[in-house]
Amino acid sequence: MGLRIVLSGAAGFIGSHMSDRLLAEGHTVVALDNLITGSLKNIAHLESHARFQFIHHDVTQPAPVESPVDAVVHMASPASPKDYLEHPIETLDVGSLGTRQLLELARAHNATFLLTSTSESYGDPLVHPQVETYWGNVNPVGPRSCYDESKRFAEALTMAFHRKHGLRTNIARIFNTYGPRMKLDDGRVVPAFLDQALRGEAMTLFGDGTQTRSFCFVSDMVDGLYRLMQSDERYPVNLGNPRELTIKQFAEEIRRLTGTKSPLVYRPLPTDDPKQRQPDISKARRLLGWEPRVELEDGLRQTIEYFSALHRS
């Protein structure tokens, strides 16, 4: 039978795809978003869906949600470096106060709770690839700390609610994810490079482009999240695509797929930008029977199509 699920951050990039997936599985979605980085455009197609309700709400305040609530999925947070550097206090608030409010909501309704945390919990990692048992290398006072520490606090609070109150919690550590509905101007490397490539403008590589990332297509990510919220695993689980590329290789792949003549230009590396990132997904494979299926080329083609349509409109 369908569950009634409260989803925070439902108008965001991954949140809106999660809304689609939960509805497709027959559930009812009570979607919360304060729209500071999310967009109603991402969920416009769900407006008249019978099992979808949107509430414009800041989750640092008590959620105006009635019974029953079977599951709470907490995805609300600025998530791109540009967004969280612009909203550092809101980022810390949503990970701390927001997580607290939503944990209380789950507890009051005896609902399950899924926290979407981040690979940034590992900071600039000294262990590679990153495995869940690694505690990380985070600068607690650097510009990225508003995001990293907010999510680390959220993980600690989630574990505390599980230990103290027996709440059925899950924690996903989401690695770089891409796909349609990313914000064109959110500063992340996927929209930045695609926007530049499609306009024929110079593609801006930060640093020397040798830093690495591993990119997961959004449908794979949502599938992992959906499996995780049904599991009994209380400790964090990495979700991401293990295929690792340097940012320079990634730029070249985008040049190839878009056919652009955009030159590559080099810009200073942002402070504390992680030098390498690749998820070890053995745990997700073992516990959830999950692994990414969408090849980078296929995922990028779909994303290019989305951004091309935005450019045309």
Instruction: State the nearest-atom distance from the C-beta of 155 to ligand UDP, in Å.
Output: 17
Q: Which position among 84, 122, 147, 178 bears the catalytic label?
A: 147
Between 102 and 205, whose beta carbon lies closer to ligand UDP? 205
φ, ψ at 175 (rounded to 5°): -90, 175
Tokens standing for 73? 């999925």
Which one, 193 or 226, has the nearer CB to ligand UDP? 193
Distance CA 213, CA 77 (A): 21
224 vs 238: CA distance, rounded Å: 9
Residue in 71, 157, 78, 175 with CA at minimum distance from that of residue 114: 71
CB of 187 to ligand UDP, least distance (A): 6
| Residue 166 Cβ vs ligand UDP, minimum distance, rounded to whole Å | 34
**Distance between CA 115 and CA 117 in Å, rounded?**
6
First CA to last CA distance, the chain? 40
Q: How large is the greatest C-alpha to C-alpha distance in the chain, in angstroms? A: 57
Known catalytic residue at 147: yes
* 131 versus 269: smaller Cβ distance to ligand UDP: 269
Nearest distance from residue 201's CB to ligand UDP, in Å?
Answer: 11
Which residues have C-beta within 8 Å of that of residue 305, sequence separation ≥ 6? 180
Interface with ligand UDP by CB under 6 A: which residues?
Answer: 80-81, 176, 187-189, 192, 204-206, 211, 213, 247, 269-270, 273
Give the contacts of 141 (CB within 8 A, at least 6 positions apart).
none
Nearer to ligand UDP, 84 or 226 (CB): 84
Please give the positions annotated as active site: 147
